[in-house]
Amino acid sequence: MSRSYYVTTPIYYVNDKPHIGHAYTTLACDALARFKRLDGYDVMFLTGTDEHGQKVEAAADAAGVDPQSFTDRVSQNFRDLIGVMNCSTDDFIRTTEPRHVTAVQALWRRLKEKGHIYLGSYAGWYSVRDEAFYVETELTTVNGEKRAPSGAPVEWVEEPSYFFDLSKWQEPLLAFYEANPDFIAPESRRNEVLSFVRGGLRDLSVSRTSFKWGVPVPDDDAHIMYVWLDALTNYITAAGYPDTDGQYSKRWPADLHMVGKDILRFHAVYWPAFLMGAGLEVPKRVFAHGWWTVEGQKMSKSLGNAIDPAALVDTYGLDQFRYFMLRELPFGNDGDFSHRAMINRMNSELANDLGNLSQRVLSMVAKNCAGAVPQPGAFAAADEALLGAADALLESQRAAYDTQAFHKALDAIFDVVGRANRYVDEQAPWTLRKTDPARMATVLYTLVETIRHVAILLQPIVPGSCERMLDQLAVPADARDFDRLTPDYRLVPGTPLPKPEGVFPRWVAEEEAGS
């Protein structure tokens, strides 16, 4: 029976169009899902849209349409983005779907039956933009206006409300974090959560009466559920809840929730508390990545500088965009998007280092080895060293992906690419062609086998480009999984190869091309 792996993006809020921040999270999950599938796992990769709440109701009203029509339209934008980025999702969930309403109402009933939800009244500060409640000590004052930690304005709200007894879960949560040190990553984010929980938890308002766009509270339709209780439940909805047999028993608990750092509290504090209260298992890990700025500025509507991922794909290419987003910075840190940085990565690493390596090696094979995989002789120490480095890559990749260190995975691969380029220069097969053709064949075989390893391992990041690279190595479609990365499955000498073609062209600006 194959191993199971369940990875989720947050479900994206449908009050605006997707930007590179949304693309970043989804791409990271896609790379991880692809990696695990190639490594023999039965993967479920979930994304979707969060469609309830006061903010959506207001946005729909401003657009002059009903909330359902508004969410239908905006949700489709996020579904379209999956296709634009060639993401391999297995499910797309919407919180307006009947299956989700059933699940979240079932979770509510379970929490209430266990005594964790009670009726009271709420009076306090609420941010519509964040869909979050804040205590006075968390607020700042800007030009006489109270602001949430995110900078969003807050308003004083007084209304009847159901509460979840979050205050009772402080010690159980701290004990859980202690017993599961890898539950929150990276370490800096874990420390933030520990500090927040140690500071004391208050019971959480989990219903609203001042607007209607949400999931009705069971047996009291004067209330709708707090949008975060509604939204977080999507992860178990997609796993089959409230049916806890079958698919659910296979998929839950999730292996990884990937989120932006701004919503970590909801995933690392509220969500485990809800699950503990319901007697359900807690997910295995929550990773909170950083934010992207654009050319040194924070993305915002007022600045009009949010970047459409589809525009970047159209300009630079799909795999070039995917590569840059997961290569440019240590995953988990904040980063800055700049066109210059993207062009530099594309040209120096994809075009020059990897693309040029593949093109010149395969061109030499086509010209000097009758267009077929070369027949190697005895391997010299230099050949064994390069092949050994390629063979060792898989374990380094597993370690990097399991900690969501995509930059480290790419560092390791491009270290081998760099070794291969130096090996070409040192071995000089163009000279060996005249002096020692048999040795030339061994050198070229060593190189094409190294390129096979690199192409198989880069599939999660640049799948389309690696497909073309592996086609040029005549690697069958059913021989591209990680179980083929052993000496037993090396390229077969004499296998005919197609005419080589460049995979990673150098990017040249229009003005430069026309000069």
Helix (H, G, I), strand (E, B) or coil at 26: helix
CA 390 – CA 130 distance, rounded (Å) = 47
Q: pLDDT for 160-186, tens place per residue?
A: 999 999 999 999 999 999 999 999 999
Q: pLDDT for 113-149, tens place per residue?
A: 999 999 999 888 988 888 888 888 899 998 889 999 8
- Quote the tokens at residue 120: 């009271």
| 234 neighbors 95 (Cβ within 8 angstroms) | yes
- Quote the tokens at residue 88: 């391999």
Q: What is the pLDDT along the chain (515 residues), one digit of tens a residue?
A: 469 999 999 999 887 788 888 999 999 999 999 999 999 999 999 999 999 988 889 889 999 999 999 999 999 999 999 999 999 999 999 999 999 999 999 999 999 999 999 999 988 898 888 888 888 889 999 888 999 988 889 999 888 999 999 999 999 999 999 999 999 999 999 999 999 999 999 999 999 998 899 999 999 999 999 999 999 999 999 999 999 988 999 999 999 999 999 999 999 999 999 999 999 999 999 999 988 888 776 666 556 667 889 999 999 999 999 999 999 988 888 888 889 999 999 999 999 999 999 999 999 999 999 999 999 999 999 999 999 999 999 999 999 999 999 999 999 999 999 999 999 999 999 999 999 999 999 999 999 999 999 999 999 999 999 999 999 999 999 999 999 999 999 999 999 999 999 999 999 875 454 43
- Quote the tokens at residue 203: 């019971």
CA 72 – CA 247 distance, rounded (Å) = 27
CA 93 – CA 68 distance, rounded (Å) = 15
CA 429 – CA 436 distance, rounded (Å) = 9
CA 31 – CA 376 distance, rounded (Å) = 34
Return the bridge partners of 8, or none.
46, 257
CA 251 – CA 258 distance, rounded (Å) = 16
CA 225 – CA 205 distance, rounded (Å) = 9
| 66 neighbors 60 (Cβ within 8 angstroms) | yes
**Mean pLDDT computed over every residue of the chain:** 94
Query: What is the model's pLDDT at position 511?
Result: 46
Angle, alpha carbons 61-105-92 (nearest 5°): 65
507 DSSP 8-state letter: P
Helix (H, G, I), strand (E, B) or coil at 44: strand
Number of H helices, E strands in the chain: 22, 19
Omega prior to 253 cis, within 30 of 0: yes
| 269 neighbors 193 (Cβ within 8 angstroms) | yes
